[in-house]
Amino acid sequence: MAVVIRMTRFGTTKKPRYRIVAADQRFKRDGRCLEQLGSYNPFDREKGLVVKAEKISAWIKKGAQPSNTVAKLLKNAKIQL
């Protein structure tokens, strides 16, 4: 089972919001997840990214791979991978 840290989309039409989750790579994008690790609102630049850094680092230590988009967000938030 390969675990990835990726974003799932929710919100309304033309106003998306995203949850950062740990999920099996075989799960659907907006389907089941193993754990919610944070959220991202692209319309709020100041407080748009909320991350549980200790949980993300724990999943990475277990072998989870972040997606390219999540890796960029974490890098911009200065969270070590």
Whether the predicted model's global pTM rises above the 0.85 cut: yes
In this structure, is residue 21 part of a structural domain? yes
Number of separate domains in the chain:
1
Residue-wise pLDDT tens digits, 13-49? 999 999 999 999 998 888 899 999 999 999 988 889 9
- Domain with residue 63: its CATH number is 3.30.1320.10
In this structure, is residue 81 part of a structural domain? no
Tokens representing 4? Answer: 């990835």
H or E segment to which residue 56 belongs: helix 53-61
Residue-wise pLDDT tens digits, 43-74? 988 889 999 999 999 999 999 999 999 999 99
H or E segment to which residue 54 belongs: helix 53-61
Across-strand partners of 38?
Answer: 20, 51
Range of the domain at 60: 3-76
